[in-house]
Amino acid sequence: MDVRIFPHPLCGTLTPPPSKSIAHRLLIAAALGGGESTVRGIAFSQDIEATLRCMEALGARWRQSEPGTLRLGGIAGSRPFPRLPRFDCGESGSTLRFLIPIALAVAGGGVFTGRGRLMERPQAPYFSLFDEKGISYTQEDGVLTVRGTLRPGEYRLPGNVSSQFFTGLLFALPLLAGESTIVSTTALESSDYISMTLEALEQAGVSAAALPGGRGFRVSPLSYQPFDAAVEADWSQAGFWYAANFLGGQLTLQGLNPHSAQGDTAIADLYWKLARPGDAGIDMSGIPDLLPPLSVMAAVRNGTARLTNAARLRMKESDRLQTTAAMVNSLGGSAEEGPDFLTIHGKPTLSGGTVDGAGDHRIVMAAAIAAACCTGPTTILGAEAVSKSYPDFWEEYKRLGGDVHVL
């Protein structure tokens, strides 16, 4: 689906959708327990559907008792499988990386598939562990097969890789028969995402003790318990609406928890940092999802902004450093990409133009926000990509005054 957007300010009141990051974690914690858990505030994005589909493959069952409220019957630990279960992870990197060690702990492994660029994303931290632990794996033609027994022990991971590897182990290791440790061999980045994981584990009665000096976690064998929890509003999606206000919109955001463990709460402070004229530097290592909306904000400010430590964004749904720079430039802005950074030179206005959404939900949403304040119309190719994380985005956009037309 391609759309054309004519400039029009966005105004009104909205509540961002439920946090996809928290929802993944609560659904997995519920599925690993015994009995029935209730998780409220679920939005059926493609990524969340992928996690539900994969937990069903492990034997969990769920039903929607009312809109946005799921009741999940958990698997209560490992059980025999006549063959390796198959997991269709869609385009969800969280689903894939969370489920790999869980599948080993519960079913002795699994066969993982995905769409888009998902199966190109690096899994080297897991593969290094598997070589050490005697777990077999093959990856060819977009299919990853892992087989073996996950045993208690020490698991060493570099801290400057995606936190998703730590989260996968934090979910899986309590299912084993003995105590384990996860050791971070370098300084731990994206720690806020791990905090979200620990909160979800606590909801299910599972805890992980921090090692001295923040070097990792000690995990004891524990059974996941049923629970009742609600998903918070998503600060990463709120980032797009903050950008809309930065570009002249008049939006009031409701329902956000200012004390959330979500690292993307940083958008509230970064808004004001970019609002001040002059050069600005932002470290993206802990807040990678905010790069597209921050880039839109940086494109129309007085000064140059440099967004650094962002190399991992090259392996998202698109090469997000390249596609964000292309999006800004296509709209009449000035952006340059480096190996792990973007440099954006602010201009008074953006002219509009044609943006290739590159199959990336965050590129499409960032372009749509920018389009509302451009001096001319904007065409976005592949606008349906928002369904991956924010299926109601276009309806919300139009409700807030966005002048958007399907081509």
3-17+233-406 and 20-230, same CATH topology: yes
Taking residue 140's Cβ as centre, other Cβ atoms within 10 Å add up to: 8
Q: What are phi and psi of 147, to 5 degrees?
A: -150, 130
141 Cβ contact list (under 8 Å, min separation 6): none
How confident is the model at residue 90, as a pLDDT? 96
Tokens 């990678």 correspond to what residue? 288
**Spans in the chain with pLDDT lower than 70:** 78
Which H, E and C letters describe 273-305, residue by residue?
Answer: HHHCCCCEEEECCCCHHHHHHHHHHHHCCCCEE
How confident is the model at residue 144, as a pLDDT? 98
At 378, is the secondary structure helix, strand, or coil? Answer: strand
Q: Are 4 and 386 in contact (CB under 8 A)?
A: no
Q: How many angstroms separate the most distant Cα atoms in the chain?
A: 63
How confident is the model at residue 76, as a pLDDT? 86
How confident is the model at residue 67, as a pLDDT? 93
Closest CA to 12 of 404, 366, 401: 401
CATH 3.65.10.10 corresponds to the domain 20-230: yes
How confident is the model at residue 78, as a pLDDT? 67
How confident is the model at residue 315, as a pLDDT? 87
Q: How many whole angstroms separate alpha carbon 22 and alpha carbon 19?
A: 5
Q: Are 404 and 370 in contact (CB under 8 A)?
A: no
234-249 burial, b for 16+ CB within 10 Å, e for fewer?
Answer: bbbbbbbbbbbbbbeb
End-to-end CA distance of the chain: 7
Alpha helices of 18-162 — where are they, by DSSP H?
A: 20-31, 46-57, 93-107, 124-133
Domain 3-17+233-406's class?
A: alpha beta
Amino acid at 368: A
91 Cβ contact list (under 8 Å, min separation 6): 46, 47, 50, 114, 115, 116, 117, 118, 317, 388
Burial bucket for residue 264 (CB in 10 Å: 0-12, 13-18, 19+) = buried
Q: Are 23 and 39 in contact (CB under 8 A)?
A: yes
Tokens read off for 361: 């939900």
Closest CA to 103 of 78, 140, 132: 78
Q: What is the pTM of this model?
A: 0.94
- Domain segments of the chain as ranges: 3-17+233-406, 20-230
52 Cβ contact list (under 8 Å, min separation 6): 27, 62, 70
The catalytic residues are 289
How confident is the model at residue 190, as a pLDDT? 77
279 Cβ contact list (under 8 Å, min separation 6): 303, 304, 305, 306
Q: How many whole angstroms separate alpha carbon 232 and alpha carbon 213?
A: 30
pLDDT in tens, 201-234: 999 999 999 998 778 999 999 999 999 999 999 9
pLDDT in tens, 157-188: 998 888 999 999 999 999 999 999 999 998 88
How confident is the model at residue 386, as a pLDDT? 97
DSSP code string of 196-217: HHHHHHHHTT--EEEPGGG-EE
Tokens read off for 273: 């940092």
